[in-house]
A and B are shown apart, each in its own frame.
Chain A
Amino acid sequence: MNQSGAQPIPFSRSSSPALGRDVILSARGVVVGFGTKMVLENLDLDVYRGEVLGFVGGSGQGKSVLMRTILGLTPMKDGSISVFGKDLGEASAEERTAIERRWGVLFQQGALFSSLTVRQNVQFPMREHLKLSQRLQDELALLKIEMVGLPRDAAEKYPSELSGGMIKRAALARSLALDPDLVFLDEPTSGLDPIGAAEFDQLIYKLKETLGLTVYMVTHDLDSLHTVCDRIAVLAERKVLVTGTIDDMMHYDHPWVKEYFRGARALRRA
């Protein structure tokens, strides 16, 4: 607590996923299906406070379905999901709103409100949930917009006037509007050029360090998995097959995991 103890220590966080860490999101026995086709069966997952969890899986394996299920956008047939220690199935409407205030979501296509400017998009959650003065709202929105690396003049632009990378950044700024504890990112670097993608990875890392965010990131980007993710979870065979660090993935024996982390494309990056 004193300035003399000057080592900047990160939040209660260690680099290895040790036992007894604060679980911020946990899913138990989640079953999701459409009609008779099961997408997820008996799925368990833990996300620890302060980590960046990279979530990988083949296309159509249900990564987005799981994220949408956690967010309550897709109903589940069985199982329980608790966020911030609260079971979402049993939470009252007020508790649910309180939880929703503490998480932010970056959708794959950005999902910015097309009739609002970037600044209004970022202010929207503040305006709806909190009673802040207009001046403070403007200042905080511009702060967030600058923090995600957008130029200032982008604040007054409409989403249709932005490039793909700028839309991702603006959407990230909106997801950070209420200073969430947990951020869901759905393929944040897809569609960005390698430089933009690397910048975005650095941005996520920087925000995690400064804001103490927990990040749940669905991604296909091997570079992101190597550089920013503390832990990786693999979705295959309708459940979370394995979780662990990138080194664990390199040694895991499963055809899909092998192909993904040690296939031609993966090896070429080294």
Chain B
Amino acid sequence: MDLQVQTDAPLLEVVSAGDGQAVKVSGRWTILTANIAETLMQGLPAKCSLRHVIIDMGNVKQLDTAGAWLLHRMRADLEFAGRFVELQNVDSRYYELFAEIEKHNPRVPPTKRPRPSLVALFERTGELTVEVYRDALAICHILGSLAMVIAWAVTSPRRMRAISIAVQFDKSCIGAVPIVMLMSFLIGAIIAQQGGFYLKQFGADIFVVDLAGILVLREIGVILTAIMVAGRSGSAFTAELGSMKMREEIDALNVIGLRVTEVLILPRLLALMLSLPVLVFLANIAALFGAGLVCWWYLGIPPAAFLTQLQIAIDVETLMVGVVKAPFMALIIGLIACVEGMKVSGSAESLGLHTTMSVVKAIFLVIVVDGVFAMFFASIGI
């Protein structure tokens, strides 16, 4: 071997010895140098053409499991090629290591890699369909439990878990107020500015108030708040339930004789259904305030004129069209979050996956539900 390597690197040297050949092994045979050692070993059976081969380990400076395994593999490869192999000058401190290695046979079985095919595509589609069906079933299950617990609560109010609901309400509503209001304030201001910019060209500045008022109250306020809540509370629900599932806390609840839907899911759902309308109402106020400020500073509509025009443009019905959608959206967000949370399995990866899925599905369904409501209101003429 004419390879120029540093003195400590593993080295194999084939020399002739007596009626056979000797492979002189030297240097450090450790896991740090195992990649060098493995390259050296390639083609060794071809180089040792004689029948009798001696592996001389007198100059091995250091040996660990990786090195011992490689030497063991080298010996096995030589023997497989029909050579008679003899080990020489093995340091006594490596006896136990070699004895241990010889007990194991870590040959890797070939792995099957699935090939992409039409069948696999159908299989995946089928699996997804079944999954959607199971999701729907789980949602129905939770809805049914919700109805039952509410029915029970009429007879014994203690079952409502008022404290639990209050704690969840505090987390999902009170905690969300600042960010939801700030976001709505900015959105209101942006709508007024953008609308005003174009309406000013027609001298119709004052109709910015109508635009902002109707848009915010009917659609923007509720939908943006729902999206914010899906990202904030929905993901939190999934992560909480998922990590409780991972740490067997859910199983513990079941064993104690409590129903997860009753103890964990219902307080969250009810709290969310209470908090989203409140948040939507606050978001509407913030958005109208933002729109009013922009109208005053940018379009020169004084607050008094803004309020007068607003009273002409909107009424309580406009507000209610928005707010009435909120509990339904909250229900969707909560249901998706809880179903995804209960689907979490053992790994951290699955927790991440289901939290993502929860938010994505919730936002998608919020928009779908909003569309359904738009069609409904249009057909009843509101």
Within 8 A of B (CB), among A1-17: 1-3, 5-11
Chain A residues engaging chain B, CB cutoff 8 angstroms: 1-3, 5-11, 101, 113-115, 126, 130-133, 135-136, 138-147, 158-161, 176, 178-179, 206, 209-212
Given contacts A114-B349, A143-B104, contact A10 B69 (CB under 8 A): no
Residues of A within 8 A of B38 (CB): 132-133, 136
In order of increasing CB-CB distance, the 10 nearest A-B pairs are A160-B346, A142-B106, A115-B349, A114-B347, A179-B64, A138-B108, A143-B106, A146-B104, A210-B96, A115-B347
Residues of B within 8 A of A158 (CB): 346-347
Closest to A114 in B: B347
Among the stretches B29-37, B137-145, B156-164, the one at the interface with A is: B29-37
Give the bracket for the number of chain B residues in contact with chain A: 35 or more
A179 with B347: CB separation less than 8 A: no
B65 with A144: CB separation less than 8 A: yes
Closest to A179 in B: B64
What 7 new A-B contacts, CB under 8 Å, besides A140-B31, A140-B34, A178-B31? A132-B34, A136-B34, A139-B107, A140-B106, A141-B106, A158-B346, A179-B30
Any chain A CB within 8 A of the CB of B24? Answer: no
Given contacts A139-B108, A140-B31, A211-B64, contact A1 B96 (CB under 8 A): no
Of B65, B89, B90, the contact of A140 (CB 8 Å cutoff): B65
B346 with A179: CB separation less than 8 A: no
Residue in B95, B99, B107, B108 whose Cβ sees the most chain A Cβ within 10 Å: B108
- Complex Cα–Cα for A160 and B349 (A): 12
Given contacts A114-B346, A130-B31, A139-B108, contact A9 B65 (CB under 8 A): no
- Complex Cα–Cα for A142 and B105 (A): 8
A130 with B35: CB separation less than 8 A: yes
Residues of A within 8 A of B101 (CB): 143
Residues of A within 8 A of B95 (CB): 8
- Type the 1/0 row for B85-102, where 1 means its CB is closer than 8 Å to any CB of A: 000111111011101110
- Complex Cα–Cα for A158 and B346 (A): 9
Given contacts A131-B35, A136-B34, A147-B100, contact A179 B66 (CB under 8 A): yes
B108 with A135: CB separation less than 8 A: yes
Given contacts A133-B38, A136-B34, contact A1 B106 (CB under 8 A): no
Nearest chain B CB to A146's CB is how many angstroms away? 4
Any chain A CB within 8 A of the CB of B258? Answer: no
- Complex Cα–Cα for A81 and B65 (A): 28
B346 with A161: CB separation less than 8 A: yes
Any chain A CB within 8 A of the CB of B73? Answer: yes
Given contacts A3-B90, A7-B92, A140-B31, contact A211 B108 (CB under 8 A): no
Closest to B60 in A: A1
Nearest chain A CB to B110's CB is how many angstroms away? 11
Given contacts A11-B93, A179-B64, contact A130 B348 (CB under 8 A): no
Of B64, B66, B88, B104, the contact of A3 (CB 8 Å cutoff): B88
7 contacts between A and B (CB under 8 A): A3-B88, A113-B348, A114-B348, A115-B348, A140-B66, A143-B65, A146-B103
Any chain A CB within 8 A of the CB of B58? Answer: yes
Closest to A7 in B: B92
Residues of B within 8 A of A159 (CB): 346-347
Residues of B within 8 A of A3 (CB): 88-90, 92
Any chain A CB within 8 A of the CB of B129? Answer: no
Any chain A CB within 8 A of the CB of B345? Answer: yes
Nearest chain A CB to B68's CB is how many angstroms away? 9
Residues of B within 8 A of A9 (CB): 92-93
Closest to A113 in B: B348
Closest to A115 in B: B349
Residue in A6, A9, A101, A179 whose Cβ sees the most chain B Cβ within 10 Å: A179
Residues of A within 8 A of B30 (CB): 179
Closest to B67 in A: A179
Residues of B within 8 A of A210 (CB): 96-97, 99-100
A1 with B35: CB separation less than 8 A: no
- Complex Cα–Cα for A212 and B103 (A): 18
Nearest chain A CB to B353's CB is how many angstroms away? 10
Residues of B within 8 A of A161 (CB): 346
A5 with B31: CB separation less than 8 A: no
- Type the 1/0 row for B29-61, where 1 means its CB is closer than 8 Å to any CB of A: 011101100100000000000000000001000
Residues of B within 8 A of A136 (CB): 34-35, 38, 66, 70
Nearest chain B CB to A227's CB is how many angstroms away? 18
- Complex Cα–Cα for A177 and B88 (A): 28
Given contacts A139-B73, A178-B31, contact A211 B93 (CB under 8 A): no
A140 with B35: CB separation less than 8 A: no
Residues of A within 8 A of B103 (CB): 146
Given contacts A8-B95, A143-B65, contact A1 B108 (CB under 8 A): no
- Complex Cα–Cα for A133 and B38 (A): 8
Residue in B64, B106, B347 whose Cβ sees the most chain A Cβ within 10 Å: B106
A5 with B92: CB separation less than 8 A: yes
Residues of A within 8 A of B58 (CB): 1
Residues of A within 8 A of B70 (CB): 136
Closest to A133 in B: B38
Residues of B within 8 A of A206 (CB): 100
- Complex Cα–Cα for A140 and B35 (A): 12
